[in-house]
């Protein structure tokens, strides 16, 4: 319905913007913010650099738009206002684990994007934490701590658990080509196995 209400120039502009975002996501994931160039991104999108600057005034504005786009997809899949009050702590943690896997299936480049920004403090890292990461992390941490009080989640640092899950799921998608070379035909992205592995780590 949305597309049908747009005229031809608007459709073309929206399609161009999507191509730029897709090319930028791949370039930032591979080279990091500092290593990626607008020339590379424009080439990947098949547009002139001037057109890229028309849609995004700076490289940082483009990077933020990429991250906004990724987390908007997550928010659409897991709305913040979803009522979880009737769920047990165990169920909430299970939902978070399932959500991590869903999200990396949806956005397999996210692990590389986040890793690139996590290596050293920067204004971009602070923006990312404040805008997208902190609220989600705090919700997961609260669920872990509630589960620990109830004796269903391992009594260890919730921060370590959070990043252990990210590491396991992120590696499953980021290192898939390497794993396939070492073990041809071996799928580390088997959803049930991933979820079972993480459950063994998290739950008592």
State how far the Cα of 51 lies from the Cα of 13, in Å rounded to an integer: 10
In this predicted model, what pLDDT tens digit does every residue of 44-79 receive, in sequence order? 999 999 999 999 999 999 999 999 999 998 888 776
Distance of CA 165 to the CA centre of its chain: 13
Domains of the chain: 1-60 (1.10.10.60), 78-202 (1.10.357.10)
CA nearest 90: which of 149, 165, 170, 160?
149
Segment 128-161, tens digit of pLDDT? 999 999 988 998 999 999 999 999 999 999 999 9
How confident is the model over 166-195, as pLDDT tens digits? 999 988 888 888 888 888 877 676 888 889
8 strand-pairing partners: none
pLDDT at 3: 47
> What predicted TM-score, i.e. pTM, was given to this entire model?
0.86
């Amino acid at each position: 319905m949305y597309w049908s209400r747009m005229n031809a120039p608007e459709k073309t502009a929206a399609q161009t913007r999507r191509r730029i975002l897709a090319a930028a996501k791949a370039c930032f994931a591979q080279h990091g913010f500092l290593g990626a160039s607008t020339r590379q991104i424009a080439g990947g999108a098949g547009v002139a650099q001037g057109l890229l600057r028309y849609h995004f005034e700076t490289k940082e504005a483009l990077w933020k738009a990429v991250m906004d786009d990724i987390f908007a997809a997550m928010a659409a899949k897991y709305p913040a206002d979803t009522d979880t009050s009737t769920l047990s702590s165990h169920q909430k943690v299970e939902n978070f684990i399932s959500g991590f896997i869903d999200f990396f299936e949806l956005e397999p480049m996210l692990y590389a994007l986040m890793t690139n920004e996590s290596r050293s403090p920067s204004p971009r890292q602070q923006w990312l934490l404040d805008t997208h990461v902190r609220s989600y992390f705090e919700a997961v941490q609260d669920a872990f701590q509630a589960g620990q009080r109830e004796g269903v989640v391992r009594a260890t640092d919730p921060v370590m658990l959070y990043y252990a899950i990210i590491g396991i799921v992120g590696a499953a998608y980021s290192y898939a080509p390497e794993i396939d070379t070492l073990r041809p035909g071996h799928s580390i992205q088997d959803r049930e196995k991933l979820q079972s592995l993480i459950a063994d780590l998290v739950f008592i």
